[in-house]
Amino acid sequence: MFVLASIVGVRTGDFIFLIISLALLLAIPATIIVLVISFRKRNNRLKIVEEKLDKVLSETKGHRDRSSVPTGKRN
């Protein structure tokens, strides 16, 4: 490869720079896509936890409301 590169005029440094540039060019959009997907998943998980917490709190509030109602006369 080195012999072919020197005949054509492409230097090893140019080839390494090309590979690094290509890797960065592909890595930036891939990183953005991964971040967007992870933020969406996290938001969905938070929404599910919030719904479950609201359900538990409403059940607890309903239980407290029923237990505070007087059922009979006290002496």
For the stretch 18-41, pLDDT in tens is 999 999 999 999 999 999 999 999
pLDDT for the residue 9: 65
pLDDT for the residue 75: 52
For the stretch 36-63, pLDDT in tens is 999 999 999 999 999 999 999 888 887 6
For the stretch 62-74, pLDDT in tens is 766 665 555 555 5
pTM of the model: 0.54
How many residues are given for the chain? 75
pLDDT for the residue 40: 93
Angle at 53 between CA 39 and CA 43, to 5 degrees: 5
Please spell the DSSP secondary structure of 40-64, one letter per residue.
HHHHHHHHHHHHHHHHHHHHHHHHH
CA distance 5 to 9: 6
